[in-house]
Amino acid sequence: MKKETSLRYLENFLPPNTFELVAPYFQDHTVHLTLTHERKSVLGDYRHPSSDKPHHRVSVNGNLNPYSFLITLVHELAHMLTFVHFGHDHSPHGKEWKTQFRHMMIPFMGKRIFPPDVEKALYAYLHNPAASTCTDPDLYKALYRYDERKPGYRLVDEIQINQHFLTEDGRIFEKIEQLRTRSRCRDIKSGRHYFFQGIVEVKLVRQDRVMACRNKR
């Protein structure tokens, strides 16, 4: 399900004092903007004009925190301007898009728009921006701190050694070892060890549930 919005409605999703920096992109180009419910695989999306839809189309997940929302919106608008300048003659996240994205993010930097930890990670990310902020662990973790947290949920990197957590498929793991970008964890039921990326979100588990899982082995 999608929700169409008017341009001014964007202020409800952006950090303070950033709407005026974003608005000109919509004034200079015909853009159909859509806010969507949470999508697991993508934070935003851009579609170039076509014969049946002769306008630029941008969608952004409406559940993002303001800093993630701004970065994602600029990310997708950078795709739009890259298409305007180069048409189909460029790779989706190639040097043309990287240059455009960096150029568009500069006006937002050094103005206390982002919290210090987010801005520090964002500066590093802009040296070589990737297809998604999710591919940069430092930026992802910095932005995650400002999400509206679901009770009991953590990133694997935030879980202490010997703590237990539940994955989406219902399995319970114990964190065994913290490595640089991953954690070694043990499946309580099978005893097998697996490596988890530090930015995977999981749910902490009560000790009684851990014991019940062990008793089923």
Q: Which region holds residue 179: left if phi is over 0, alpha if psi is between -120 and 50, else beta? A: beta
Confidence band of 133 (pLDDT split at 50, 70, 90): confident
Find all residues with CB under 8 Å of 106, minimum gap 6, and list them: none
Q: Mean pLDDT over all residues of the chain?
A: 90
- Give pLDDT tens digits for 139-190: 999 999 999 888 899 999 999 999 999 999 999 999 999 998 899 999 999 9
pLDDT at 155: 95
**Is 104's pLDDT higher than 80?**
yes
pLDDT at 89: 87
**Is 22's pLDDT higher than 90?**
yes
- Give pLDDT tens digits for 47-90: 999 988 899 999 999 999 999 999 999 999 999 999 999 998 88
Q: For the purposes of burial, counting CB atoms within 10 Å of the CB of 19, is it exposed (0-12), middle (13-18) or buried (19 or more)?
A: middle
**Is 6's pLDDT higher than 90?**
no
**Is 107's pLDDT higher than 80?**
yes
Q: Is residue 177 a contact partner of residue 183, using CB atoms and an 8 Å limit?
A: yes
pLDDT at 216: 65
pLDDT at 1: 41
E strand or H helix at 143, and its extent?
helix 137-144
Percent share of the chain, pLDDT over 90: 74
Confidence band of 214 (pLDDT split at 50, 70, 90): low
**Beta-carbon count within 10 A of 143 CB:** 25
Q: Which of 180, 174, 173, 136 is nearest to 157 (CA)?
A: 180
pLDDT at 88: 86
Q: Give 152's DSSP letter.
A: T
Confidence band of 135 (pLDDT split at 50, 70, 90): confident
User: In this structure, what token pair is assigned to residue 217?
Assistant: 């082995």
Which listed CATH number (2.160.10.10, 3.30.390.10, 1.10.150.20, 2.30.30.30) goes with 153-215? 2.30.30.30
pLDDT at 144: 94
pLDDT at 217: 60
The order of strands in the sheet holding 2-4 is: 2-4, 31-36, 56-61, 44-47
**Is 5's pLDDT higher than 60?**
no
Q: Is residue 217 a contact partner of residue 204, using CB atoms and an 8 Å limit?
A: no
E strand or H helix at 26, and its extent?
helix 19-28
How many whole angstroms separate alpha carbon 21 and alpha carbon 19? 5
Q: Are strands 2-4 and 56-61 parallel, antiparallel or unpaired?
A: unpaired
Higher pLDDT, 35 or 210: 35
